Amino acid sequence: MEAEIITVGTEIILGSIINTNAVYLSKKLMGMGIETHYHTSVDDDYKRLESAIKIALDRSDIIILTGGLGPTDDDLTKEAVANVINKPLVSDIDMQKYLKNYFACSNRKMTKNNLKQAMKPSESEFIPNPRGTAPGVFVEYEGKKIILMPGPPHELEPMFDEYVCNLIKDDFNIVVKSIKVSGIGESSLETDLKSLDIYMPKFTITTYASTGYIEIKIIGRGLDIDELNKTSNLIVERIKSKIGDYIFGYDNKSLEETLLNSLKLKSLKLAVCESCTGGSISKRLTSIEGASEVFDRGIVTYSNNSKIDELNVDPFLIEKYGVVSQEVAYAMTKGLLEKSGVDLVISTTGYASPVEESKNTGLVYICVMDKKNHKVYKMNFLGDRKAVVERATNFALIESLRFTNKHYN
Amino acid sequence: MEAEIITVGTEIILGSIINTNAVYLSKKLMGMGIETHYHTSVDDDYKRLESAIKIALDRSDIIILTGGLGPTDDDLTKEAVANVINKPLVSDIDMQKYLKNYFACSNRKMTKNNLKQAMKPSESEFIPNPRGTAPGVFVEYEGKKIILMPGPPHELEPMFDEYVCNLIKDDFNIVVKSIKVSGIGESSLETDLKSLDIYMPKFTITTYASTGYIEIKIIGRGLDIDELNKTSNLIVERIKSKIGDYIFGYDNKSLEETLLNSLKLKSLKLAVCESCTGGSISKRLTSIEGASEVFDRGIVTYSNNSKIDELNVDPFLIEKYGVVSQEVAYAMTKGLLEKSGVDLVISTTGYASPVEESKNTGLVYICVMDKKNHKVYKMNFLGDRKAVVERATNFALIESLRFTNKHYN
A121 and A85 Cβ atoms separated by less than 8 Å: yes
pLDDT band at B251 (very low <50, low <70, confident <90, very high): confident
Q: Domain limits of chain A?
A: 2-168, 173-249, 255-407
In which band, very low, low, confident or very high, does the pLDDT at B212 lie, cut at 50, 70 and 90? confident
Amino acid A113: pLDDT: 81
What predicted TM-score, i.e. pTM, was given to this entire model? Answer: 0.78
In the stretch 358-377 of chain A, residues with CB closer than 8 A to chain B read: none
Q: A62-76: per-residue pLDDT in tens? A: 999 999 998 888 899
List, as ranges, residues 82-141 from B with C-beta within 8 Å of A. Answer: 108-109, 111, 113-114, 131
Out of 3.30.1490.190, 3.90.950.20, 3.30.420.40, 3.20.20.140, which CATH number does the structure's domain A255-407 have? Answer: 3.90.950.20
Question: In Å, how far is B340's CA from the nearest CA of chain A?
Answer: 8
Phi-psi region of A269 (alpha: psi -120 to 50; beta: other; left: phi over 0): beta
Q: How far is B132 from chain A (nearest CA, A)?
A: 10
Q: Is B302 on the interface with A (CB under 8 A)?
A: yes
A125 and A138 Cβ atoms separated by less than 8 Å: yes
pLDDT the model gives residue B77: 97
Residues of A in contact with B208 (CB under 8 A): 9-11, 16-17
Q: Which of A9, A27, A289 sits opposite B15 (nearest CB)?
A: A27
Does residue B78 have a pLDDT over 90? yes
Range with the poorest average pLDDT among A4-13, A381-390, B106-115: B106-115
A338 band by pLDDT with thresholds 50, 70 and 90:
very high
- With an 8 Å Cβ cutoff, are B310 and A300 in contact? no
Out of B41, B70, B286, name the one closest to residue A278 (CB): B286
Residue ranges of B 224-243 with Cβ closer than 8 A to chain A: none
Residue B105 in this model has a pLDDT that exceeds 80: no
How high is the pLDDT of residue B356? 65
Separation CA B12–CA B290 (nearest Å): 32
Percent of chain B at pLDDT > 70 equals: 99
What's the rounded Cα separation, in Å, for the pair A50 and A271? 52
Contact B349, B281 (CB under 8 A): no
- Is the minimum CB–CB distance between B27 and chain A shorter than 8 Å? yes
Q: How confident is the model at residue B99 (pLDDT cuts 50, 70, 90)?
A: confident
3-state secondary structure at position A33: coil
Greater confidence (A273 vs B210) lies with: A273
Q: How confident is the model at residue A169 (pLDDT cuts 50, 70, 90)?
A: confident
Task: Report whether pLDDT(B114) > 90.
Answer: no
| % pLDDT > 70, chain A | 99
Contacts for A326 with CB less than 8 Å, ≥ 6 apart: A365, A376, A378
Quick check: helix, strand or coil at residue B106? coil
For A387, nearest residue in chain B (alpha carbons) = B154
Amino acid at B363: L
- The predicted structure's pLDDT at residue A186: 83
Between CA B44 and CA B49 the distance in angstroms is: 7
A296 at interface of B, judged by CB pairs closer than 8 A: yes
Across the range B85-94, mean pLDDT stands at 95
Q: Which residues of A touch B309 (CB under 8 A)?
A: 297, 339-340
Region A137-157: mean pLDDT is 94
DSSP letter at A14 equals T
User: Residue type at B345?
Assistant: V
Nearest to B26 among A15, A45, A208 (CB): A15
Residue A357: which pLDDT band, with cuts at 50, 70 and 90? low
pLDDT above 90 covers a percentage of chain A that reads: 71
What is the three-class DSSP state of A308? helix
* pLDDT at position A358: 59
Q: Does B36 sit within 8 Å of A39, measured CB to CB? A: no
Chain A nearest-CA distance from B234, in A, is 23
Please check the confidence at residue A354 and state whether its pLDDT lies above 80.
no
pLDDT tens-digit map of B316-340: 999 999 999 999 999 999 999 999 9
* Inter-chain CB proximity B40 and A39 less than 8 Å: yes
Query: Cα-flanking dihedrals φ and ψ of residue B297, to 5°?
Result: -160, 160
Per-residue pLDDT reduced to its tens digit, B15-67: 877 888 999 999 899 878 788 999 999 999 999 999 999 999 999 999 999 99
pLDDT, position B359: 62
CA–CA min distance A190, chain B (Å): 7
What pLDDT was estimated at residue A232? 96
pLDDT at position B187: 81
Chain A positions in Cβ-Cβ contact with residue B37 (cut-off 8 Å): 13, 42-43, 45, 48
Contact A340 B306 (CB under 8 A): yes
Average of per-residue pLDDT across A303-322: 96
Question: Can you give the pLDDT at residue A35?
Answer: 86
**Arithmetic mean of pLDDT, A101-109:** 77
CATH number of the structural domain A173-249: 3.30.70.2860
The model's pLDDT over A284-306, given as tens digits with 9 standing for 90+, comes to 999 999 999 999 999 999 999 99
Mean pLDDT, rounded, for B159-182? 90
The reported pLDDT for the residue numbered B358 is 59
Mean pLDDT value of segment B141-167: 94
Mean pLDDT, chain A, rounded, equals 92
Touching check for B31 and chain A: CB below 8 Å? no
H helices within B210-279, ranges in order? 225-243, 255-265
- Do A263 and A344 touch, CB atoms closer than 8 A? yes
Task: Identify the band that residue A359 occupies on the pLDDT scale cut at 50, 70 and 90.
Answer: low
CB B337 within 8 A of CB B301: no
Backbone φ and ψ of A369, nearest 5°: -145, 135
Does the pLDDT of residue A170 top 70, yes or no? yes
Q: What is the reported pLDDT for A382?
A: 81
Mean pLDDT to the nearest integer, B157-171: 92
Task: State percent of chain B over pLDDT 90.
Answer: 71
Strands B144-149 and B136-141: antiparallel
Residue B111 has pLDDT above 90, yes or no: no
Q: What is the mean pLDDT of chain B?
A: 92
Q: What is the pLDDT of residue B357?
A: 61
The fold of the B2-168 domain, in CATH, is Molybdenum Cofactor Biosythetic Enzyme; Chain A (3.40.980)
